Amino acid sequence: DIVMTQTPLSLSVTPGQPASISCKSSQSLLNSNGKTCLHWYLQKPGQSPQLLIFEVSNRFSGVPDRFSGSGSGTDFTLKISRVEAEDVGVYYCMQSIQLPPITFGQGTRLEIK
Amino acid sequence: QVKLVESGGGVVQPGRSLRLSCAASGFTVSSYSMHWVRQAPDKGLEWVAAISYDGRNKYYIDSVQGRFTVSRDNSKNTLYLQMNSLRAEDTALYYCAREYEEIDYWGQGTRVTVSS
């Protein structure tokens, strides 16, 4: 199974300040079609997960441009340029290059200072 | 508008069975791969099972292989998860989710509690 490791596991950020979350995979997530199967989700308190970023750096419909993703191979980063109160929740990276199983990172909890 | 509504959760004794349903609207389940993902209390996300868009392939996490079965009824536009021989460690909120080229939409989940 591909192991996804996120750091940090928790983050406390002042509104307006940037935030960054790292995700490392135990194997390359680059598939034979040239796509990298790494995605980011946000689970807001009391809600189901919602897709933020797909294939490393593509924002999903309706996702604000303060969210950006980068990386390649096995190392990936989610950045929030200016954190807002509505960004609180748990962020997960997920790999879908290998099925089964699809695997998630442990989650990174973002809180507002 | 894509919508997924899970149902069928509840409290069940160890060893018993439950069938979860996921009613889809705004799209046709037969055109997409579909997934079940669970979240144990205060834990992270764990992928459980998937069915390919054409229904030919089904995939399971090792811990449920042989106990859970994923299926769908195209006429009802509904996804199912038949869960047999339930264990305490299956206690979780179960989400169904749609895959486009990635998992893009999730339902609100249905809670399963396995307890004597």
Tokens of A14: 């002042």
d(CA A42, CA B97): 14
Judge: B101–A55 Cβ closer than 8 Å, yes or no: yes
Q: What is the DSSP string of A6-69?
A: EE-SEEEE-TTS-EEEEEEESS--B-TTS-B-EEEEEE-TTS--EEEEETTTEEPTT--TTEEE
* pLDDT tens track, chain A, 113 positions: 999 999 999 999 999 999 999 999 999 999 999 999 999 999 999 999 999 999 999 999 999 999 999 999 999 999 999 999 999 999 999 999 999 999 999 999 999 99
Query: Chain A residues with CB inside 8 Å of B62's CB?
Result: 101
Name the residue facing A48 among B50, B59, B107 (closest C-beta). B107
Chain A hits for B107, Cβ within 8 Å: 48
Q: A96-108 pLDDT, tens per residue?
A: 999 999 999 999 9
Alpha-carbon distance B1 to B29, whole Å?
14
pLDDT at B101 over 90: no
- In this structure, chain B runs to a length of 116
Cα A5 to Cα A89: distance, rounded to the nearest angstrom: 18
Looking at residues B103-110, what average pLDDT do you find?
A: 97
**Cβ–Cβ contact A109 with B under 8 A:** no
**A105 interfaces chain B, CB cutoff of 8 Å:** yes
